Amino acid sequence: MIKIADVARAAQVSPSTVSRALTKPDLVAPETRERVLQAARQLGYQPNKLARGLRKQQSRLLGLIVSDILAPFHATLAKGVQDAAEKHGYMVFLFNSDEQPEKEARYLQELQSHWPEGLLIVPTAKTRQHLRNLRSAGSMPIIELDRTSGTPGVHAVLVENVLGAREAVEHLISLGHRRIGMVTGEPVITTAQERLEGYRQALKAAGIALDERLVANGYHKEEGGYAATLQLLRLPAPERPTALFVGNSEMAAGAVQAIRDLGLRIPEDISLVSFDDTRWAQLMEPALTVVAQPAYEIGYLACETLVSLLRQKAPAEGRILRLKTRLLIRHSTARPRED
Amino acid sequence: MIKIADVARAAQVSPSTVSRALTKPDLVAPETRERVLQAARQLGYQPNKLARGLRKQQSRLLGLIVSDILAPFHATLAKGVQDAAEKHGYMVFLFNSDEQPEKEARYLQELQSHWPEGLLIVPTAKTRQHLRNLRSAGSMPIIELDRTSGTPGVHAVLVENVLGAREAVEHLISLGHRRIGMVTGEPVITTAQERLEGYRQALKAAGIALDERLVANGYHKEEGGYAATLQLLRLPAPERPTALFVGNSEMAAGAVQAIRDLGLRIPEDISLVSFDDTRWAQLMEPALTVVAQPAYEIGYLACETLVSLLRQKAPAEGRILRLKTRLLIRHSTARPRED
DNA sequence: AAATTAACTGCAATCGTTGTCAAAAGCGGT
DNA sequence: ACCGCTTTTGACAACGATTGCAGTTAATTT
């Protein structure tokens, strides 16, 4: 690799001058500058970011930990973050915790040793402890995405989960459904709590009593969604739900398969709404009614916020931003059968 | 941040001893070692990777550039790479070229300045030039994924595109189809070339003349797939294909929509096979017959190969590994209608 | 023409870590 | 008590880039 000394030799100046010519061009004489720039170009010089970071005590690095890079929601989130980071000259270290707290802890350690200037994270169940253990956490701004860990002083960019869920369930109610089941996620995750709360509020507002048997845990995963859906649809006829609200798209995929395996038809036999939009939700037959989240915007906004936090060095107190969801009514919801 | 000098002070030893206690424990006396380790633990010391990298002239960093992180295939690829990298103590810098050569060039530059020890890349149309311009490329092992750029000396991990495509088309032929259309990707991309070649071979082996009008370019994207499919299915009846082979899943999504918009039914009116398996291909009705690729394995294997290349410092000559595809026959293919 | 100022450049120290070298300390044997 | 040996430790110099300070030259003013 070409280093600054090589360029200096080629341009017949000192390393200091090369450095200045490249980073503070107006401090060096025009001819010298030209000579240096040309030499640098010719040799293909690229400043070593390790050395620069060490000297300037800044890495221009951000850490991003998502909980499932294979889920389109998270991939989109990551893209938003990266695009925003790039705009401001930051690089992003992307990790995938797979919802596993141990992995998250390991990656946080690893990340820390690379001196990131800020951290963006989709927290898992143990994030709060992990962040407490991180020494540098006090100095480094942290933004949580999609969910919160409850760590004090941390910023977050989320969506209106309660409202979004409520609108989805109200849609079902307006179609005439009364027995509406919910497949929820891990109760420790705030999105699961909030979406369940929205479900509760919608029922309450419509004067429908909450039946605990109609709420099943799908643990945020496809298999869990499958199992939870089977459980709900195998209830004896009078209690069996005529519509299902599912907490995220992974579980919704399981739900669709469970419904098919039971030989039921959507929406004739059962209506289905899910949080989170995906390609398959649009392409499946019938297209799925969903609560769409602005995933890209969440990532982008979170990163913008982080960068602006880094600009003003005063460590602002934690603020929570919430973006709106949109209920996309497609063809998986209809009036309940009259029997 | 705690640095080595802080630990040294706390443990009453010199910085050198701290460094040794942490990295070469058997070179320091047991009691001293304990004292140092405890001080380090207590202070939450994390070695600064920037400084270490600078001093040791190694970054333990790998670069990964994929061409579309939102596509499940690429996300899975990335996961495979990361998992393998983590196993060997490497970090991965992930970038997304969005198939745009300029972005790729920019990221390659940016990456280079972080001193990666190796590079994994899903090449775009201009990768060959970009790599030629990279000074460090000579010293740094490079592995291409999914496609090749044709850069001499570069390693690659690909799939059996010709064979996979051929099997898919042979499947259609065995069902009785004779007019089979193909929606292909950008011709500069090797996967598109190879899959087209497989299509040709299958037709030839069955004694079916190739009709150029049955091959349409979908440019690797959903919209392109939509347009190409419309074009093929609007051919006058005698030439119109009874089956379609689509070069990747993005274009397949477009194809499905085009078919629906034309009011045709799969597989009664038209059979459909696509390269690349996805969640929606499994969930759509009817489930799509596909040529599945071992995406995770490609990433994992590529990274393993890269690491082993780094271990043995002799720069081995470029080798190409090809993994097998699997034809998953589902319900989007059937005998052609007799009319 | 001398004095003052401005513009430009180089020296040397620095960031945190590691490896080399040599000094110091401990040990057993004579 | 002294010698040679091993074990343990610390001082110091890098790695590559940046920057405060000081020095040199040229330009401007008196």
Q: What is the mean pLDDT of each run of 10 residues along chain B (339 residues)?
A: 94 95 94 95 94 95 95 96 95 93 94 94 94 76 95 93 98 97 96 98 97 96 97 94 97 96 96 96 93 98 95 78 98 90
Does the CB of A252 sit below 7 A from strand C?
no
Nucleotide nearest A33 (Cα, C1'): C8
Q: Which of A:240-299 have CB within 8 Å of B?
A: 253, 256-257, 278-280, 283-285
Phi, psi of B156 (to 5 degrees): -150, 145
Ordered structural domains, chain B, with CATH: 4-47 (1.10.260.40), 59-159+295-324 (3.40.50.2300), 161-293 (3.40.50.2300)
Positions in chain D where some atom is under 7 Å from a protein CB: 7-12, 14-20
pLDDT value at position B230? Answer: 98
Contact B48 A113 (CB under 8 A): yes
In the DSSP assignment, the letter for residue A21 is H
Report the DSSP beta bridge partners of residue B243. Answer: B180, B271
Measured in angstroms, the CA of B211 and the nearest CA of chain A are apart by 30
What is the CB neighbour count within 10 angstroms for residue A173?
18
Residues of A in contact with B136 (CB under 8 A): 1
Contact A44 B133 (CB under 8 A): yes
Q: For every one of its 339 residues, what pLDDT tens digit does chain A have, with 9 covering 90 and above?
A: 899 999 999 999 999 999 999 999 999 999 999 999 999 999 999 999 999 999 999 999 999 999 999 999 999 999 999 999 999 999 999 999 999 999 999 999 999 999 999 999 999 999 999 998 886 656 789 999 999 998 888 899 999 999 999 999 999 999 999 999 999 999 999 999 999 999 999 999 999 999 999 999 999 999 999 999 999 999 998 899 999 999 999 999 999 999 999 999 999 999 999 999 999 999 998 999 999 999 999 999 999 999 999 988 666 778 899 999 999 999 999 999 876
The answer, for B50 touching chain A at a CB cutoff of 8 Å, is yes
Report the alpha-carbon distance of residue B304 to residue A199 in Å, rounded.
47
Residues of A in contact with B285 (CB under 8 A): 284-285
Nucleotide nearest A23 (Cα, C1'): D18
Report the DSSP beta bridge partners of residue A183. Answer: A216, A246
Nucleotide nearest B50 (Cα, C1'): C16
b/e per residue, B286-320, with b = 16+ CB within 10 A? bebbbbbbbbbbbbbbbbbbbbebbeeeeeeebee
Q: Which of A:112-171 have CB within 8 Å of B?
A: 112-115, 133-136, 139
Q: Find the residue in B nearest to A133 (Cα).
A: B44
Contact A115 B1 (CB under 8 A): yes
pLDDT value at position B144? Answer: 97
Report the alpha-carbon distance of residue A316 to residue A85 in Å, rounded.
20
Contact B283 A50 (CB under 8 A): no
CA B29 to C1' D5, in angstroms, rounded, equals 18
How far apart, in Å, are the Cα atoms of A239 and each of A179, A216, A316?
7, 14, 51
Nucleotide nearest A27 (Cα, C1'): C8
Nucleotide nearest B5 (Cα, C1'): C16
pLDDT value at position A315? Answer: 64
Sign, Cα dihedral of B185, B189, B195, B201: positive
Interface test with B, best of A280, A290, A296, A331 (most B CBs within 10 A): A280
The answer, for B70 touching chain A at a CB cutoff of 8 Å, is yes
Contact B82 A95 (CB under 8 A): yes
How far apart, in Å, are the Cα atoms of B8 and each of B4, B18, B33, B40, B53?
6, 6, 11, 9, 21
Residue with tokens 């207590």: B42
CA B49 to C1' C26, in angstroms, rounded, equals 36
Contact A46 B109 (CB under 8 A): yes
Contact B46 A112 (CB under 8 A): yes
CA proximity to A114, closest of A68, A49, A46, A19: A49
Phi, psi of B158 (to 5 degrees): -130, -175
Sign, Cα dihedral of B82, B86, B88, B92: positive
Does the CB of B58 sit below 7 A from strand C?
no
pLDDT value at position B316? Answer: 72
Does the CB of A27 sit below 7 A from strand C?
yes
Which helix or strand (DSSP H or E) is residue B72 part of? helix B72-87
Sign, Cα dihedral of A7, A8, A10, A13: positive
Cis amide leading into A267 (omega within 30): yes
In the DSSP assignment, the letter for residue B24 is -
Half-sphere exposure of residue A159, counting CA atoms within 13 Å on the CB side?
27
Measured in angstroms, the CA of A276 and the nearest CA of chain B are apart by 15
pLDDT value at position A314? Answer: 64
